C-alpha cells in the first residue's frame, strides 16, 4: 500500500512552463488518490507548483527542510505540515524513512543528488522502495544515457539499470509505475558489487 510518496524537484523559478505544469499535475493526481506528498518544502519553482496541485485537490503535503533554509525564508508557508531538520543529511534521511516510494521530477544539482543518493541506497540494499523518474520533455535523457554508459562499461550491473528504477514520460504514469516496480529486498545487496 502506498500512503506517502517523496517527490524530488527543483526550487528554481524561470524554468520552461512545461515543467511547472507537470509538477502541478503530479500533485493533483497523487492527492486525488489519497497519497500524501513529502517534498523539500520549497516555496518557489516546481516545488511550489507541486504543492499547489496537492492543495487544490484537498491533499496533504509535508515539507522537510533544514533550519538554515527556513532562516533564509525558503520554506513554503502553505505546506500542510513542515518538519525542520538540523542538516541536509538529516532531511534526506528523514524523507527516505517517511515514504513508501520516491519520484524525481526535473531539477538541478540538488534534485540530482537526492535521486542518486536514493538509488545508491537502493543498490546497497538499504531500502527497497520504488523509484520513478518522470522524464518530462526529455529532461532526463542525458542522465539515462549516462546510466546506460555505466552499464556498457561495467560501472553498474544491468540488473540495477533494469530493475532499480522506472522511467515514465508523464505524471499520469507515475502511480502505475510505482505499483509495478520490481521487488527489491535486502538480498539485492549481493548484487551491489560490479563484476
Per domain, the residue ranges of the chain are: 4-180
pLDDT at 193: 61
CA torsion sign for 61, 66, 67, 73 is negative
Cα 20 to chain center, whole Å?
Answer: 15
Cross-strand bridge partners of residue 102: 6, 131
> Where residue 187 falls among pLDDT bands split at 50, 70, 90?
low
Q: What is the DSSP string of 22-70?
A: HHHHHHHHHHHTTPEEEE--BSSHHHHHHHHHHHHTT--EEEEEEHHHH
User: Is-contact 64 43, C-beta < 8 A?
Assistant: no
Mean pLDDT of the chain: 94
Q: In whole angstroms, what is the distance from residue 150 CA to residue 127 CA?
A: 22
Reading the block at residue 19, the C-alpha cell is 515543467
Q: In whole angstroms, what is the distance from residue 156 CA to residue 149 CA?
A: 9
Burial level of 179, CB count in 10 A (0-12/13-18/19+)?
Answer: exposed
For residue 131, pLDDT beyond 60: yes
Q: What average pLDDT does range 139-151 have in this prediction? A: 96
Q: In whole angstroms, what is the distance from residue 12 CA to residue 25 CA?
A: 18
Q: Does domain 4-180 have CATH number 1.20.1290.10?
A: no
pLDDT tens digits along 101-119:
999 999 999 999 999 999 9
Q: In whole angstroms, what is the distance from residue 132 CA to residue 119 CA?
A: 10
pLDDT at 162: 85
Amino acid at each position: 500500500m502506498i500512503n506517502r510518496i517523496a517527490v524530488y524537484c527543483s526550487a528554481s523559478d524561470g524554468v520552461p512552463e512545461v515543467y511547472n505544469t507537470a509538477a502541478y499535475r503530479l500533485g493533483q493526481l497523487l492527492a486525488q488518490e489519497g497519497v500524501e506528498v513529502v517534498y523539500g518544502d520549497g516555496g518557489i519553482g516546481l516545488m511550489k507548483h507541486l504543492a499547489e496541485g496537492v492543495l487544490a485537490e484537498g491533499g496533504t503535503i509535508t515539507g522537510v527542510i533544514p533550519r538554515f533554509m527556513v532562516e533564509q525564508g525558503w520554506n513554503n508557508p502553505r505546506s500542510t505540515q513542515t518538519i525542520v531538520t538540523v542538516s541536509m543529511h538529516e532531511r534526506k534521511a528523514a524523507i527516505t524513512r517517511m515514504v513508501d516510494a520516491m519520484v524525481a521530477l526535473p531539477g538541478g544539482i540538488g534534485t540530482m543528488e537526492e535521486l542518486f543518493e536514493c538509488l545508491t541506497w537502493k543498490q546497497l540494499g538499504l531500502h527497497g522502495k520504488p523509484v520513478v523518474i518522470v522524464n518530462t520533455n526529455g529532461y532526463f535523457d542525458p542522465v539515462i544515457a549516462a546510466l546506460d554508459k555505466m552499464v556498457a562499461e561495467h560501472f553498474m550491473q544491468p540488473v540495477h539499470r533494469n530493475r532499480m528504477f522506472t522511467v515514465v514520460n508523464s505524471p499520469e504514469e507515475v502511480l502505475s509505475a510505482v505499483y509495478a516496480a520490481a521487488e527489491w529486498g535486502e538480498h539485492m545487496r549481493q548484487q551491489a558489487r560490479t563484476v
